[in-house]
Amino acid sequence: MNTTANTSMLALALRMLKRDWTSGHMTVLLIALLVAVTTHTTISFLTTRIHNGMEAQAASLMGGDLVVSSPRPTPDAWREQADKLAIRHAQTLEFSSVVFAGDNMLLSAIKAVSDHYPLHTPLKISDGAFEPEYSSDRGPAAGTVWVEKRLMAELNVAVGDSVDIGDATFRVEKVLTFEPDRSGNFYSFVPRVMMHWDDVPATQVIQPGSRLDYYAQFAGTAESILKLREAISAQLEPGHRILTVHSQQRTVSGALRRAEGYLRLASLMAILLAAVAIAMGAHYFSRQQFDTAALLRCFGLSSRQILQLFIWQLVSLALLGGLLGGALGWIFHFVAIAMLASLLPANIPLPSLLPIATGCLLALVLLLGFALPALTQLQRTPPLRVLRRDLTPAPLSRQISYAFTLGLVTLLMAWYVKDIVLIVAIVGGVLGAALLTFALSAIFMRLLNVLGKTSPVSVQAGLRNVSRRGVSTRIQLLGFGLTGMAMLMVILVRTELISTWQNQLPEQAPNHFALNVLPDDAPRFESFLQQNQVVSQPLYPVIRGRLTHINQQAVQQAASKEDNDPGERDAPEALNRELNLSFAPDLPSDNRLLAGQWWNEMPASDERLLSIEERLAERLQVKLGDELSFFVANQTFSARVVSIRSVKWESFQPNFYMLFRPGDLDDLPTTYLTSFHMDASQKGLLKALAQQFPAVSVLEVDAILARVKGILAQVSAAVEFILLFVLAAGLTITIATLITTMPERFREGALMRTLGATSRQLRLQQWSEFFAIGLLAGLVASAGAELARIALYWKIFDLSYTPALWIWIIVPPLMGLLIGIAGHWSSRKILGQSPLIVLRDT
Amino acid sequence: MGHSPTAQSSNPVVLQAHEVCKTVMMSAQPLHILKSASLQVQQAESLAIVGASGSGKSTLLGLLAGLDVPTSGSIQLLQHKLEKLTEDQRAQVRAQHVGFVFQSFQLLPNLTALENVMLPLEIVSSHDVKERAVAMLKSVGLGERMQHYPRQLSGGEQQRVALARAFVCEPDVLFADEPTGNLDTDTGERIIELLFQLNHNRKTTLILVTHDRTLAARCDRTLLMSAGELAAAS
């Protein structure tokens, strides 16, 4: 076909689009499209911004947008690249050293920081132990150190005094009260001393073999950071590790990971709902166009031209819907941001306009993908239909049509969520729901007829309608069922996500860790806490030890395997650092046994037995039955792995990578640790505690807890807000579904009224029909949601699945009621309309 | 059997059907709707095909207009042998030469009277589409109701819109299927009047199917369809 003909076809398509628009036949299609695109763009804009906000907060916990750790000084080339990309950077070095003050000495965690440190969140310091704290966006100047209160107490120094580190002497200038990027290891109980980067050489403490942790920190725009990250990734050497938000803060990362998963799920659900609605709208539109298509063919359009005409209409509609939906999404996302303002960091940069482009693309894919199968039917309209209205075009083969739609849904999801498990879960759920719909509906319809026998005549008529409109009923069932399923999943997952988060950090979450409780002090320490009504965890024994061999193979070799694969690592520092080993008679309450057996299920034996945490086991490729060797206080011993546990690190309760059987560590030097909750009003007790138990180190984690709680509150709010959108989408689509089946109901209603049916009879009939459809759709939704949830919980959200029996009891009647109300509302006009007009129009 | 009724005048032949049969399968049994029908129509002639309901006259009309293909036999519309053409090629023939009027009007309910008349012109992408449609609607006396939708018009008005739509493309042959079938007698007569007036002014060949004797009597010639067979009416 030549260009002129194409152009005139486009012009004709646009004119027809405009006319169809005024007729309202396209309204359903456009509303569904708008809902889809608006939801997509709103969620895209919002998640981008929330994500940016959350990443920014998380980045401040990490010390930069990009942080690379290394056991050696990092290459200057990285910083030169950063300068070129206008990225700010800083360096820190962490090591342990003894700090001297006169005759007193204390092992301390030294941190040397370069000029531009900290990059994100300021430090907090005070001018004296009891002075108010304030922010500082730089570290100590050369020749001075900032120290924690604990160190001042133990070394008996005050601000202005001198301390020695190695060969250098420093003046204590400030008290360090908050350090944003203090590593997430809550068990590091030695006090912090912060010094300037340039002073390190003078101390002479850096010797070959020293255990050193260098951190190169970078902060800049997401785009430039990405560039730098790519450049650095290419230059990584063994020992270099790119730290990410996910690798650093388990609690935050767990929440972030689940929130991301949830937001993806919600977006996907909205898109699926839209796809269903569009397929329905197109089906409706297509049926309305049979006569037009027949007439156009009669007037001389070829079948190809007919298809072209409708494709042009779809493309124009997609563009219109894409742009309009994009604009709405842009506006709505501001509303959402305003609602979340108190939870979000200020000045999150505006998101790019990319979602508008993807929104248009989405509209095009949705329309062409889901509407085209219905519209290809028009292409086959026999022109003879103008003489014989009973001739309807042959629909596309059902198998082809379903396979095409399913394929497209899968592709769409792959493009959208890029998460194979999520896709498999949803496709499985949808397929399961579809199969169920068709299997159950046949049985259910028969049951309805049997049940109907004893009901009033109008109810019987309504119930008969359900089975009489076989195909139409099944399509509606699938539509309502999928809508219900999507909303159920979103609601169920949200409820459990939020309650998991809340349970994770109960009001009385421990906010202090007490370490180094000596065995002799232990009973007294416990009673001290009890007497002062401090809620505490039990005392856990701790033996500091280093993992040396796995099955007689040195651990350093195992570690080097990891270094061959540089990049994001969630590896605990277990390989090189000392580990806290512990023993326990019972499995800790928040642990779960994943493999093997607990001691009490095993026969007595002489060998030492241990249980290992699952992620560490995975990292070290340790299996049940492996032999691990440890070096503790100048002795080496081995133990056999007899179980693998999962551990809730985010619980803020003492937890251990390695748990031994009681008695297996008896001959080793043991101290105890615990965590406890102390209100602000109880803080005074800390001083008494320090006096009575001078050896005990207390770590206050209030600040970290507060930050984590803030992030969780923010994520929960985001989740709730996005739920509203999915609900709105579901509602619109339910009404759209009803509208598409309305013409037939209108005609039947008018006929029945002509034959003398009363309004009450019609109402009863409508109610019973819609209620039955809703009831069955509720069953389909419950089944589909449960199927998908099993897979989701298992793989994505890391939540334990429990069957939600209540949904089977509540959802079907509830959906029956809702569909009944919606159906009755949308067909109320049947009752008011003159039968003559309806019959003449149809 | 089958007659070959021919026209009397010396005008060129525009439509020729030769032993056209149409058989469809009904419950695995062949049903012969048309049995060897032949006819010839000359330019500017008007031909009525009359017969009882179910006699096969609408089927014949559909075949003659190229909306369907015969099981056997041949149909030549102007220089086109319809049974040799694909559906798309027949569509082209329809676009260039044929107009239709239907019993049920077949107006698109979501288009105004004017838009309905404009539609066939838009398909052949003619010039002055709107002007021609407006003029045509005025000529059928609907100048005041152009922006009305079909449901806002009476049956007679709707059929007048349909006539305007059929004639606006200036077709060589106009096929009409029971054009007065849905109208009362008075309205039907007015429509017949209009139809023949337009036909006369534009020298269109008119082939109509009807069981309305008054309408048939207005035509130059009448053929009787009975149980799938065609004969010259007495």
pLDDT along chain B (234 residues), means of 10: 50 91 85 89 91 85 89 92 88 87 82 88 80 91 90 88 89 89 81 85 89 86 88 70
Query: In angstroms, what separates the C-alpha of A835 from chain B's closest C-alpha?
Result: 14
Query: In angstroms, what separates the C-alpha of B87 from chain A's closest C-alpha?
Result: 8
Domain ranges of chain B: 43-67+96-232
Dist CA A20 CA B69 (whole Å): 32
Supply the pLDDT for residue A784: 79
Confidence of residue A184 (pLDDT cuts 50, 70, 90): very low
pLDDT of A333 over the 70 cut: yes
Query: In angstroms, what separates the C-alpha of B110 from chain A's closest C-alpha?
Result: 5
* Residue among A8, A302, A389 whose CB faces B125 most closely: A8
How remote is the C-alpha of A766 from its chain's centroid? 42
- Residues of chain A positioned with their CB less than 8 A from the CB of B93: 300
Do β-strands A671-677 and A635-646 pair in parallel, antiparallel, or remain unpaired? Answer: unpaired
Instruction: Name the residue with higher pLDDT: A567 or A761.
Output: A761
Which of A3, A295, A747, A834 to mutate: most B Cβ within 10 Å? A295
- Residues of chain B positioned with their CB less than 8 A from the CB of A389: 104
Contact B151 A841 (CB under 8 A): yes
Contact A301 B87 (CB under 8 A): no
* Residue among B91, B102, B151 whose CB faces A386 most closely: B102
Query: In angstroms, what separates the C-alpha of B100 from chain A's closest C-alpha?
Result: 8
Dist CA B58 CA B48 (whole Å): 12
Nearest CA in chain B to A383: B67
pLDDT, tens digit (0-9, with 9 covering 90-100), for A11-43? 888 888 887 777 666 777 788 788 888 888 887
- Residues of chain A positioned with their CB less than 8 A from the CB of B108: 291-292, 295
Say which residues have a Cβ less than 8 Å from residue A472's Cβ, sequence separation at least 6: A741, A744
Contact B106 A841 (CB under 8 A): no
Helix residue spans in A453-521 (DSSP H):
457-468, 470-504
As a whole number, the mean pLDDT across chain A is 78
* Residue among B62, B68, B123 whose CB faces A300 most closely: B123
> What angle (nearest 5°) sits at the alpha carbon of residue A626, between those of residues A622 and A632?
90
Supply the pLDDT for residue A227: 87
Q: How many CB pairs under 8 A join A and B?
A: 83
Nearest CA in chain A to B67: A384
Among residues A80, A374, A372, A105, the alpha carbon closest in space to that of A235 is found at A80
Rounded mean pLDDT, A492-508: 66
Confidence of residue A651 (pLDDT cuts 50, 70, 90): low
pLDDT of A618 over the 50 cut: yes
pLDDT of A571 over the 50 cut: no
Confidence of residue A172 (pLDDT cuts 50, 70, 90): very high
Contact B122 A12 (CB under 8 A): yes
Rounded mean pLDDT, A771-791: 82
* Residue among A19, A382, A841 whose CB faces B115 most closely: A19
Nearest CA in chain B to A297: B91
Task: Give the whole-number percent of chain B exceeding pLDDT 90.
Answer: 27
pLDDT of A182 over the 80 cut: no
pLDDT of A183 over the 60 cut: no
Least confident of A85-94, A281-290, B3-12: B3-12
Q: Is residue A372 within 8 Å of residue A395, measured between CB atoms?
A: no
Task: Give the whole-number percent of chain A exceeding pLDDT 90.
Answer: 11
CATH code at B43-67+96-232: 3.40.50.300
Query: In angstroms, what separates the C-alpha of B126 from chain A's closest C-alpha?
Result: 10
Supply the pLDDT for residue A163: 93
Rounded mean pLDDT, A628-654: 83
Query: In angstroms, what separates the C-alpha of B106 from chain A's closest C-alpha?
Result: 7
Supply the pLDDT for residue A832: 67
Instruction: Name the residue with higher pLDDT: A808 or A604.
Output: A808
Nearest CA in chain A to B126: A8
Contact A23 B110 (CB under 8 A): yes
Task: Give the whole-number percent of chain A exceeding pLDDT 70.
Answer: 76
Supply the pLDDT for residue B207: 93
Supply the pLDDT for residue A825: 80
Q: Is residue A271 within 8 Å of residue B67, measured between CB atoms?
A: no
- Residues of chain B positioned with their CB less than 8 A from the CB of A23: 109-111
Least confident of A62-71, A80-89, A106-115, A430-439: A430-439
Instruction: Name the residue with higher pLDDT: A376 or A246.
Output: A376
Supply the pLDDT for residue B1: 36
* Residue among A20, A300, A840 whose CB faces B110 most closely: A20
Torsion, Cα A685 A688 A693 A698, to 10 degrees, reads 40
**Cα Rg of chain B (Å, integer):** 17
- Give the SS3 label for residue A595: strand
Confidence of residue A510 (pLDDT cuts 50, 70, 90): confident
* Residue among A15, A292, A300 whose CB faces B95 most closely: A300
Rounded mean pLDDT, A563-585: 56
Rounded mean pLDDT, A574-592: 77
pLDDT of A449 over the 80 cut: no
Least confident of A112-126, A256-270, A592-606, A687-701: A256-270
Dist CA A673 CA A537 (whole Å): 9
Nearest CA in chain B to A290: B108
pLDDT, tens digit (0-9, with 9 covering 90-100), for A46-73? 777 776 766 666 666 677 888 888 888 8
Supply the pLDDT for residue A209: 59
Confidence of residue A416 (pLDDT cuts 50, 70, 90): low
Supply the pLDDT for residue A34: 85
Cα Dmax for chain B: 53
Two tokens, residue A32: 């569904």
Do β-strands A697-700 and B98-101 pair in parallel, antiparallel, or remain unpaired? Answer: unpaired
Query: In angstroms, what separates the C-alpha of B8 from chain A's closest C-alpha?
Result: 30
Instruction: Name the residue with higher pLDDT: A453 or A535.
Output: A535
Neighbours of B53 (CB within 10 A): 8
Dist CA B158 CA B179 (whole Å): 11
Contact A388 B91 (CB under 8 A): no
Nearest CA in chain A to B124: A300
Rounded mean pLDDT, A697-713: 66
Instruction: Name the residue with higher pLDDT: A237 or A592.
Output: A592
- Residues of chain A positioned with their CB less than 8 A from the CB of B57: none
pLDDT, tens digit (0-9, with 9 covering 90-100), for A367-384? 887 777 778 888 888 888
Rounded mean pLDDT, A456-479: 73
Supply the pLDDT for residue A795: 61
- Residues of chain A positioned with their CB less than 8 A from the CB of B150: none
Task: Give the whole-number percent of chain B exceeding pLDDT 70.
Answer: 95
- Residues of chain A positioned with their CB less than 8 A from the CB of B87: 302-303, 383
Which of A1, A18, A292, A298 to mutate: most B Cβ within 10 Å? A298
- Residues of chain B positioned with their CB less than 8 A from the CB of A384: 62, 67-68
- Residues of chain A positioned with their CB less than 8 A from the CB of B120: 299-300
Rounded mean pLDDT, A238-255: 61
How high is the ipTM of this complex?
Answer: 0.79
Looking up tokens 């360096």, which residue turns up? A91
* Residue among A295, A382, A841 whose CB faces B106 most closely: A295
- Give the SS3 label for residue A710: helix
Q: Which residues of A touch B (CB under 8 A)?
A: 5, 8, 11-12, 15, 19-20, 22-25, 291-292, 295-304, 382-384, 386-389, 840-841
pLDDT of A134 over the 80 cut: yes
Supply the pLDDT for residue A828: 75
- Residues of chain B positioned with their CB less than 8 A from the CB of A292: 108
Two tokens, residue A291: 């006569």
Among residues A97, A95, A99, A93, the alpha carbon closest in space to that of A152 is found at A99
Contact A298 B67 (CB under 8 A): yes
- Give the SS3 label for residue A17: helix
| Distance (Å) of CA A637 to CA A360, A546, A580, A657 | 65, 11, 15, 17
Nearest CA in chain B to A11: B122
Q: In what order do the strands lie in the sheet with B13-26?
A: B29-42, B13-26, B72-77, B80-81
